[in-house]
């Protein structure tokens, strides 16, 4: 195997994959769902659907420990994953009834989320077995930079296309052009993966029961679970209706909306190398504590100004969000896997995703109840996020202090 060649191929395909994930989970599909006429609750549920379906991860490790993780198995699941999201483009042509559109949307979105979550661990194992340990932070930084560059370009194209087609009364045609771009990206990604070397994954057979018990009993891994769960709750409760809030209630145009997403991508892209260097010695307090401070600042700003003032502050907010997202991505893509026991990485990673899914299940109803009924609705979700990040900061600060004292 030519390591450098395979490294480059996997970097390109992984970049296209994560860029497509960013496109599908954020600006593009949320805007398309609003076009279809879906309710606030439906769009909010979609925003966290992939994380809710993390619950099925508890079955992923036992399943793959039996059927294996061959390239054929991995790419078959991955192809279904991509086809399900692209098929959403057919919904406007199948029905004009909002209820039917909502059902069709969630059937495809659920297939998309389930196959995505089932396949997540296979790609983690593919990446971690192919990329050398000393190269992982640099690889993650390069991938984050490139994926955000691709997503940035798409956001710009999306804003221009949708604004122009909407102004001329052909908004649907604009979305069809964008779905075509998503299809092309997915096709190239799969074509490259077919030709990329995939090492064998050595995984002990494990039952669903053991998949729940073994990681939960590991004290070293418990900190990873608490950190991931708290971050998922804190970030999710404050941001899951943010796209709806901007497009439906602040009535910002697609172009401004796209510019905000561009700023997120730029911020993530150009801060990836910084966070990659910070993570090389695996001192995760240098990642988590700054991330908490960033989001404490974000939600403090969101709480301190009225809606008209926030219109002018949104660019700053989104730059900070991108910077914070890049920090946690570094932790998420390296720390979780490397804190797992050898030959049980699949079990540990899927269990962590399972915990995130449990936490996220409560977000749609909790966030929607607050968003819908409070006089200062969106501010309440921001306040909950702010408080949660303060808790995470205190927890990690105490943990870091305890670790230093034990050295």
Length of the chain: 407
Q: What CATH number is given for 3-406 in this structure?
A: 1.20.1250.20
What integer pLDDT is reported at residue 392 of this predicted model? Answer: 93
Kindly report, residue by residue over 59-88, the tens digit of the pLDDT.
Answer: 777 777 777 778 888 899 889 988 998 999
Least confident of 27-31, 106-110, 381-385: 27-31
What integer pLDDT is reported at residue 350 of this predicted model? Answer: 78
Phi first, then psi: give them for residue 278, nearest 5 degrees.
-65, -30
Confidence of residue 155 (pLDDT cuts 50, 70, 90): confident
Kindly report, residue by residue over 118-151, the tens digit of the pLDDT.
Answer: 887 788 788 878 888 888 888 888 887 887 777 7
Kindly report, residue by residue over 232-254, the tens digit of the pLDDT.
Answer: 888 988 887 777 777 777 778 77
Kindly report, residue by residue over 157-171, the tens digit of the pLDDT.
Answer: 777 888 888 888 888
CB 146 within 8 A of CB 15: yes
Residue 180: pLDDT over 70: yes
Residue 346: pLDDT over 60: yes
Residue 313: pLDDT over 70: yes
Mean pLDDT to the nearest integer, 45-68: 74
Secondary structure (H, E, C), the chain: CCHHHHHHHHHHHHHHHHHHHHHHHCHHHHHHHHHHCCCHHHHHHHHHHHHHHHHHHHHHHHHHHHHCCCHHHHHHHHHHHHHHHHHHHHHHHHCCCHHHHHHHHHHHHHHHHHHHHHHHHHHHHHHHHHCCHHHHHHHHHHHHHHHHHHHHHHHHHHHHHHHHHHHCCCHHHHHHHHHHHHHHHHHHHHHHHHCCCCCCCCCCCCCHHHHHHHHHHCHHHHHHHHHHHHHHHHHHHHHCCHHHHHHHHCCCCHHHHHHHHHHHHHHHHHHHHHHHHHCCCCCCHHHHHHHHHHHHHHHHHHHHCCHHHHHHHHHHHHHHHHHHHHHHHHHHHHHHHHCCCCCCHHHHHHHHHHHHHHHHHCHHHHHHHHHHHCCCHHHHHHHHHHHHHHHHHHHHHHHHHHHHHHC
Tokens of 269: 């892209």
Confidence of residue 290 (pLDDT cuts 50, 70, 90): very high
What integer pLDDT is reported at residue 214 of this predicted model? Answer: 82
CB 107 within 8 A of CB 99: no
Using the structure block, give the residue that is written with the tokens 């009364």.
169
What integer pLDDT is reported at residue 386 of this predicted model? Answer: 94
**More confident: 402 or 317:** 317
Residue 222: pLDDT over 90: no
pTM of the model: 0.69
What integer pLDDT is reported at residue 296 of this predicted model? Answer: 96
Confidence of residue 94 (pLDDT cuts 50, 70, 90): very high
Confidence of residue 22 (pLDDT cuts 50, 70, 90): low
Confidence of residue 204 (pLDDT cuts 50, 70, 90): low
CB 175 within 8 A of CB 29: no
Average pLDDT, the chain: 81
Burial class of residue 217 (count of CB atoms within 10 Å of its CB; 0-12, 13-18, 19+): exposed
Confidence of residue 406 (pLDDT cuts 50, 70, 90): very low
What integer pLDDT is reported at residue 36 of this predicted model? Answer: 92
Mean pLDDT to the nearest integer, 272-292: 85
Least confident of 155-169, 188-202, 356-370, 373-387: 356-370
What integer pLDDT is reported at residue 368 of this predicted model? Answer: 61
CB 318 within 8 A of CB 267: yes
Confidence of residue 322 (pLDDT cuts 50, 70, 90): very high
């Amino acid at each position: 195997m030519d390591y450098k060649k395979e490294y480059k191929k996997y970097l390109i395909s992984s970049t296209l994959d994560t860029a497509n994930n960013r496109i599908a989970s954020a600006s593009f599909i949320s805007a398309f769902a609003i076009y279809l006429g879906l309710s606030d609750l439906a769009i909010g549920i979609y925003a966290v659907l992939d994380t809710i379906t993390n619950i099925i991860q508890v079955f992923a490790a036992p399943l793959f420990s039996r059927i294996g993780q061959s390239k054929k198995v991995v790419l078959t699941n991955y192809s279904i994953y991509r086809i399900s999201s692209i098929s959403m483009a057919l919904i406007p042509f199948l029905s004009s009834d909002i209820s039917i559109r909502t059902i069709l949307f969630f059937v495809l979105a659920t297939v998309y989320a389930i196959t995505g979550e089932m396949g997540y661990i296979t790609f983690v194992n593919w990446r971690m077995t192919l990329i050398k340990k000393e190269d992982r932070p640099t690889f993650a930084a390069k991938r984050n930079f490139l994926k955000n560059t691709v997503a940035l370009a798409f956001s710009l194209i999306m804003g221009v296309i949708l604004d122009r087609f909407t102004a001329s009364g052909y908004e649907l045609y604009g979305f069809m052009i964008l779905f075509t771009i998503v299809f092309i990206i997915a096709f190239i990604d799969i074509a490259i993966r077919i030709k990329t070397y995939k090492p064998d994954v050595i995984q002990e057979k494990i039952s669903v029961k053991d998949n729940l018990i073994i990681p939960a009993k590991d004290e070293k891994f418990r900190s990873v679970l608490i950190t991931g769960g708290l971050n998922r709750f804190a970030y999710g409760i404050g941001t899951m209706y943010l796209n709806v809030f901007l497009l439906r209630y602040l009535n910002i145009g697609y172009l401004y909306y796209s510019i905000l997403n561009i700023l997120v991508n730029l911020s993530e892209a150009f801060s990836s190398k910084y966070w990659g260097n910070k993570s090389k010695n695996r001192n995760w307090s240098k990642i988590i504590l700054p991330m908490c401070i960033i989001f404490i600042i974000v939600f403090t700003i969101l709480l301190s100004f009225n809606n008209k003032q926030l219109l002018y502050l949104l660019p700053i907010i989104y730059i900070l969000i991108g910077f914070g997202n890049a920090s946690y991505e570094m932790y998420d893509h390296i720390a979780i896997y490397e804190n797992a026991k050898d030959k049980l990485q699949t079990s540990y990673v899927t269990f962590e995703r399972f915990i995130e899914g449990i936490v996220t299940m409560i977000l749609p109803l909790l966030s929607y109840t607050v968003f819908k009924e409070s006089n200062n609705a969106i501010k309440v979700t921001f306040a909950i996020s702010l408080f949660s990040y303060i808790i995470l900061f205190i927890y990690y600060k105490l943990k870091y202090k305890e670790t230093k004292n034990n050295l």
